[in-house]
Structure 1
Amino acid sequence: MVTTITDGVKVSIETIYQPEYSNPANDHFMFAYKVSIENMSNYAIQLISRHWYIFDSNGAKREVEGEGVVGQQPVIEPGHAHEYVSGCNLKTDMGSMKGEYQMTRLMDNASFNVQIPEFYLIAPYRMN
């Protein structure tokens, strides 16, 4: 698990290789990742959008931007967390992701960015 804290918001990520959805013979490797976003500040916040940078080990790079996460723009109260699971496919059996969430502090509508720490997507057989 990797973790980072930005402006009182803690982001933690775990990854899982999905062999049942992967097809290595066709350069298709599927990974799931579980994200926990914990509000350690004194203010309610809302996740507005996400911006991901996705890297394959062959040098390919993609960017993905959009509203919310998995169809939601959650409000996270102080001391609470929002968790979700999503996925990413790669053309190689190793890669990485990183990015940022755009948040709004609800008391004054101030926008700020929260860093998503870089994490690695690695098929388990590569670990030997």
Structure 2
Amino acid sequence: MKIKSTAGIKVSVESLYQANESRPLASHYFFAYRITIVNTSNYTVQLKKRHWYIFDSNGMKSEVEGDRVVGVQPILVPGQSHQYVSGCNLSTTIGKMHGIYQMMRTIDGELFNVKIPEFLMIVPFKLN
């Protein structure tokens, strides 16, 4: 598990290869990842946007931006957490991701960025 904390918002990530969703003969590898966001600050915050940087082992880079995460813009009071699962397709057996969430303090509307830690996606047979 990878963990990073920015401005009192802790983000942890776990990834898992999804063999049943992958087609290795077609160079299609699918990874699920679980994100947990914990508000350790003194303010209520809302997740507004996400920006992902995705890299495969062929040197290809892609970016994904958008409002919400899996359809929601969670509001987190101090001490509260939000968890979701999403996924990523790669054309190689190894890749990595990292990114940024744009958060907003609800008390004053101040926007700030929270770093999502870099994590690896590796097909298990590559670890032998």
TM bracket, shorter-chain basis: over 0.9
Aligned to 2:109: 109
Measured after TM superposition, the shift of residue 19 of structure 1 is 0.3
Aligned to 2:19: 19
Measured after TM superposition, the shift of residue 116 of structure 1 is 0.4
CA distance in 2, matches of 1:56, 1:27: 12
Measured after TM superposition, the shift of residue 103 of structure 1 is 0.3
Measured after TM superposition, the shift of residue 101 of structure 1 is 0.2
CA distance in 1, matches of 2:30, 2:37: 23
Aligned to 1:10: 10
2:58 is equivalent to residue 58 of structure 1: yes
CA distance in 2, matches of 1:26, 1:38: 38
Measured after TM superposition, the shift of residue 5 of structure 1 is 0.3
Measured after TM superposition, the shift of residue 113 of structure 1 is 0.2
- The letter for the 2-side match of 1:50 is R
CA distance in 2, matches of 1:45, 1:74: 8
- The letter for the 2-side match of 1:101 is Y
- RMSD of aligned residue pairs (Cα, Å): 0.4
TM-score, normalised by the number of residues in structure 2: 0.99
CA distance in 2, matches of 1:57, 1:95: 6
- The letter for the 1-side match of 2:59 is G
SS at 1:99 equivalent:
strand
Question: Which ranges of 4 or more aligned residues in structure 1 deviate by more than 3 Å?
Answer: none
Measured after TM superposition, the shift of residue 13 of structure 1 is 0.3
SS at 1:114 equivalent:
strand
Gaps of 5+ in 1: none
- The letter for the 2-side match of 1:112 is F
CA distance in 2, matches of 1:3, 1:50: 17
- The letter for the 1-side match of 2:54 is I
- The letter for the 2-side match of 1:98 is H
Measured after TM superposition, the shift of residue 121 of structure 1 is 0.3
SS at 1:59 equivalent:
coil
Measured after TM superposition, the shift of residue 40 of structure 1 is 0.2
CA distance in 1, matches of 2:93, 2:77: 38
